[in-house]
Structure 1
Amino acid sequence: MVDGGACPWNLNCHSCDKFVMSGADLLYWLRKREQWQTLAERAPDDATADYLHQVFEPTARAIDGLEKALAGLGLLQDALALDLRRPQDYFHRMWSTAFRAADLAAAAEYGEGEYGEGEYGEHATTNDEEACA
């Protein structure tokens, strides 16, 4: 939460349409994807592995969309190089440019397109979106 306030949406991030992801979040979510893939690989049976893949699928689409959006803005390499162990400038574009996770998941479904077509400009953060981070 911005400014350390209480979440007005009761911390219901998984179904919150205000949940946003920024370039600073990319490495975290890529690690989460690896974690879920490892869990699925170690599942005791195929049904459990399929279930784990199904549960993580919306998040995986949002991660793919975030990568496309960052590439379109020319920020993908910066996001991949970000070292979260060092103090950061929270006013840098990497931290302050965020997208609704639902929009990112939808963008990932559009298929392979050219980066930088301007299709992500409408998804830039608003004050309402910045409240949930």
Structure 2
Amino acid sequence: MKLGAFSISLAVKDLQASKAFYEQLGFSVFAGQAAHHYLIMKNGQTLIGLFEGMFEQNILTFNPGWDQDASPLKQFEDVREIHGHLQKARIPTQQEKLENPQGPGSFAIQDPDGNTILIDQHV
């Protein structure tokens, strides 16, 4: 199963303080809008999302259909295929069924330690 681009989405308390910290580690703003309380930071192929007040815990995020530059891939495993694989493997998903038969879609699962994993397809 190919899950697509990977990033970690961090629940931050102060977006500007987190941005300044990660800039000191060599990250720069790649996407997002501070006015909307989120920024995507990039250092090489490593992506970190900073989200202020949007969720309570950190989330592992995979984006089927995107490479690490958020560029669409010509071929990829669709989010609905991934969802089906996980259902067959009896891995509980937070969404029983995805709404649309194609295009964007998302669902979440939890690992055995309670970490949320978001599969979020934008294409």
| TM-score in same-fold range (> 0.5) | no
- Alignment TM-score, normalising by the size of structure 2: 0.26
TM-score (norm 1): 0.25
Q: Which has the higher helix share?
A: 1
Bigger relative contact order, structure 1 or 2 (CA pairs below 8 A, ≥6 apart): 1
Which one has a larger percent strand, Structure 1 or Structure 2? 2
